[in-house]
Structure 1
């Protein structure tokens, strides 16, 4: 035994191998260098290898290579081990004209595109057991590139997979039709067949590499985002707090690399709620807030009702919603943004304001910040804001005059409906001058309505007279003239206190006139509709008559 095995090799303190000095040194440059440094010592030779990649299992593969005259079967299940071991032991010298172990393993790994899916997964999984090294990272990169290429090929050959253009629809919002349901479910399963395979293998660092490869190969971002959400949920079950933090921050970083239109807003809110519980770094929270804010028009009221942070005085995290609005406005700052997106967000924020208004701990400055978060042009109506302010004033009875004035001034009284206007005139919490502004707004609305009436150039209505052009409807003329005579501009009074009684009487008169004018307007619109139908029928019947003479 001593004549054949004259060297003792300790691998990572886990196992000891007895090998022949000349055989091992002829293939391993690192061990040969150690022998050269210890010339003269011929007995009790011992080598201790620390952090050897793959441990005793990999070293056993190396000894088989050495004892078999530089030959070994290299396959997807051992290529990664042999490559890292060859790097570690410096097995890069050609012996007897045959390729060294390093060259053989590199050549084998170049054939990775021909490996099967299970072989790829096995190579990826086994490589994770290796000590982090340059050679190990090379294998990871090659495996991940091959994985993504395989996914791209699969998606291209599976036309039934759902498109990623609508991330919410990809969550299996199935039709009631059974065939459609079966088709969508099949498409969803085809697009997500690989989720579990990779989620069980990949570490957070490898997930980052995977997503970078996905972006490079232009793989479906919608499917990729769903994988990231799946990865976070599946890996959270048995993860430690530190592992959860790493997983979550990795998922947030990866989501930010994808096209934001392909990322589900609903799932982003789910990630946000988890992130608030594990206290992610501020930079990752900002990334998440920016992603949510950029598609705030896809959110719902339930999404926004996030509980306030521990130690805060108010019920919901209002500052978080203000950040969402800020990022939404930044993302929509360019030209060509559909007004419908602003209108939708305005309705959402108005509902949120009404929801948080009853909170007795909500400060006036924060409440006002919510009301003024969006530009005035985003709202067609201020009815919801008015009702929210009314609730806020009922709950917060100790506001100063300055705070009340700021709240009153936040309303655009010209954008109140007649119902809200009528309510405001009887609302004791609002000073009379604001009721006057509301009625003045209603009066201007009606004036603009009549001024703008131009039904196919049938008549034109200047501010105080009616000029008929193509109709002899005396009743309509009389009603509009009456309206014109009733419109009396209201001049604001500077001294509200001294003329309070006059103001109330004037308001009552204006309120009555507004109601009467609305009735006139509705009646006129009905008559106009009848005129249009009558003229249309006459034209149709005339065209249908035969030509008796040419």
Structure 2
């Protein structure tokens, strides 16, 4: 009996199908409910679908099943369309011992491990096109899990799954065309699949990467793929699309082990974001990651131009945020070695920004005092940067100069820097006095640690020692008592002479210590030789 076309079906306005209502009703629960009470109706009926999943192609796959006595050829290229159509048409009940369409798609999905690589990619593309369909998530999850499993296996064994082939649809994938020579290299073994997955949307790439992280795929390889994806997608993307791509790249790197993400990679991502208005959340994540790697950064990395509307040359606020992230990262206490590396880097940065005439004193002071005092063994570099800043910004008030100079720890200045400071009119007078007293205090500590028999009276530099000590005591007393009337303009020459005398005494101390060490070595050798002859000890100081 020839089927009659007594039902007109309009599918999403794409195409109209003339079908036999009797045939469709016995497989579709939706149509059975719709026409259950109208079997006696005469003439043609019409049904209009505005939201049929997969459109006309999905409806056509469903029709093939109905008109072929409940059987159809399900492949990776039509599985999702057929499954979504079966779910929509409520084809869940078996008819006359024949399995329903939904059961057949489920059986085909269970054989996903036997699909070819290109079949997996086609199924993923279908999932991407039907991302709003309720049933697409099940197929998508299966496809992603299988694909990641292939990649994990490929990274351990061969550069391409054994099931790779060119799909019958004629689509050619890069995996299928790899030469024997190229796959021998380690790079090809790890990255052969990059080109094949460029069709994925940022949303699906994010899902894929999360699955990769869970399956413990090499994070270095994942990072390389994300950067490859971003670089390949950017040329043809608009501004909004670029923001979505780079935000996805940042978020995925943030979810990975930060130890496997290089500092160079992060600053490369940062340069891309400078011209884009990405979300505050993603920007904060990127700055946090950079902060955790700040000890690996270089001066060139930090010299980021200021954003539009900011007068000063470099983005000091950005570096301050890096420092905050470095000091408060989640790994706990910062190692001293890392702290010193960052302090050295920041001193170089401060020296670079100091000559900027537009840089506010508050910003300069913030970057100069951002690190704790323990981060620096010497404040010489910071002192010279402060000196340069004061020289360029000669319009600053005495109060502003005093605040900036407070960033320098005078106890950690070398004698040479202290001597320079004593003659530096750009620094407040109290700063020079503090530096001199700090140096005198260090010298006194050295003297206490030296044997009392040290013959300073014979030192060539001690002829004016009493006068210098008297001058030192006078200055120290004035500072301790808070004397505001210290006239350094008059006493500068005496201060310089005093400091030079201190340096000379330190030099003499070093010579005496070397002589003592030499004589102690002779004593030790004599004891080791086992000599029984009584010998007088050598004089320590001739």
TM-score calculated relative to the size of structure 1: 0.82
Q: Deviations over 1:265-315 (max 9, x none)?
A: 222222223223211122222222212112211221111111112111222
CA distance in 1, matches of 2:44, 2:144: 45
CA distance in 1, matches of 2:390, 2:426: 7
Q: Deviations over 1:300-352 (max 9, x none)?
A: 111111111211122211111111111111116834x3201111111111111
Alpha-carbon RMSD across the aligned residues, in angstroms, is 3.2
SS of structure 1 residue aligned to 2:8 = strand
1:497 and 1:53, CA in 2 relative to 1: closer, same or farther beyond 3 A?
same
CA distance in 1, matches of 2:376, 2:281: 32
CA distance in 2, matches of 1:122, 1:101: 21
CA distance in 2, matches of 1:66, 1:94: 12
Equivalent in the alignment of 2:372: 375
1:505 and 2:493 correspond: yes
Equivalent in the alignment of 2:504: 516
Kindly state the Cα deviation for residue 480 of structure 1 after the two structures are TM-superposed. Answer: 12
CA distance in 2, matches of 1:41, 1:522: 117
Equivalent in the alignment of 2:414: 417
Equivalent in the alignment of 2:355: 358
Q: Deviations over 1:395-418 (max 9, x none)?
A: 111111110111112110111123
Does the CA contact (< 8 Å) of 1:432 and 1:503 recur in 2? no
Output aligned runs, 1:19-418, within 5 Å.
19-36=19-36, 38-130=38-130, 132-157=132-157, 186-198=185-197, 200-331=198-329, 334-335=332-333, 337-418=334-415
Does 437-446 or 243-252 show the bigger shift? Answer: 437-446
CA distance in 2, matches of 1:25, 1:422: 101
CA distance in 1, matches of 2:523, 2:188: 59
SS of structure 2 residue aligned to 1:331 = coil
Task: After the TM superposition, list the runs of 4 or more consecutive aligned residues in structure 1 that deviate by more than 6 angstroms.
Answer: 182-185, 475-483, 535-543
1:295 and 1:498, CA in 2 relative to 1: closer, same or farther beyond 3 A?
closer
Does the CA contact (< 8 Å) of 2:128 and 2:204 recur in 1? no
Does the CA contact (< 8 Å) of 2:401 and 2:427 recur in 1? no
Q: Which runs of 5+ in 1 are unaligned?
A: 160-181, 453-460, 468-474, 544-550
1:526 and 1:130, CA in 2 relative to 1: closer, same or farther beyond 3 A?
same
SS of structure 1 residue aligned to 2:47 = strand
Does the CA contact (< 8 Å) of 1:92 and 1:103 recur in 2? yes
Does 120-129 or 396-405 show the bigger shift? Answer: 120-129
Does the CA contact (< 8 Å) of 2:148 and 2:212 recur in 1? yes
Kindly state the Cα deviation for residue 141 of structure 1 after the two structures are TM-superposed. Answer: 1.4
Kindly state the Cα deviation for residue 109 of structure 1 after the two structures are TM-superposed. Answer: 1.0
SS of structure 2 residue aligned to 1:16 = strand
TM-score calculated relative to the size of structure 2: 0.84
CA distance in 2, matches of 1:13, 1:183: 49
1:525 and 1:122, CA in 2 relative to 1: closer, same or farther beyond 3 A?
farther
Does the CA contact (< 8 Å) of 1:314 and 1:359 recur in 2? yes
1:151 and 1:29, CA in 2 relative to 1: closer, same or farther beyond 3 A?
same
Does the CA contact (< 8 Å) of 1:466 and 1:481 recur in 2? no
Does 286-295 or 125-134 show the bigger shift? Answer: 125-134
CA distance in 1, matches of 2:219, 2:460: 60
CA distance in 2, matches of 1:17, 1:27: 17
1:501 and 1:140, CA in 2 relative to 1: closer, same or farther beyond 3 A?
same
